């Protein structure tokens, strides 16, 4: 499983319907699970992004399919980052010559 960090901003539509946001999050959590992943922590944030989510997916294709599906709802725009845990980071750096 790979880890992904997603930075989200509400669109005009998403903020107009902000009271539905918890229900949309519940639906997203189910969609991640249906894709074989896990939606871990989700944070409401202040600053450049409205939300930050940490998720895991079995592969990049499942993560991309989920991200495109959520984006097509029109309530959020997202930037997704593939995250490498420290053990993989160390392995990648050690492979440099």
Report the CATH architecture of 2-94: 2-Layer Sandwich (3.30)
| Residue pLDDT, tens place only, 33-57 | 999 999 999 999 999 999 999 999 9
| Residue pLDDT, tens place only, 74-96 | 999 999 999 999 999 999 999 99
- pLDDT at residue 97, as a whole number: 81
What are the b/e assignments for 35-53, b being 16+ CB within 10 Å? bebebeebeeeeeebbbeb
| Residue pLDDT, tens place only, 6-35 | 999 999 999 999 999 999 999 999 999 999
* C-alpha distances in Å from residue 58, one per residue of 13, 21, 51, 55: 31, 26, 23, 10
- pLDDT at residue 29, as a whole number: 96
Stated pTM of the model: 0.90
């Amino acid at each position: 499983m790979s880890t992904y960090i997603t930075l989200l901003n509400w669109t005009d539509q998403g903020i107009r319907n902000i009271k539905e946001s918890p229900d949309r999050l519940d639906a997203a959590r189910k969609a991640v699970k249906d894709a074989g992943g896990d939606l871990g922590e989700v944070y409401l944030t202040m600053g450049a992004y409205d939300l930050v989510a940490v998720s895991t997916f079995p592969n990049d294709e499942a993560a991309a399919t989920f991200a495109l599906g959520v984006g097509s709802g029109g309530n959020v725009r997202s930037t997704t980052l593939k995250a490498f845990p420290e053990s993989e980071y160390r392995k990648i750096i050690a492979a440099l010559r």
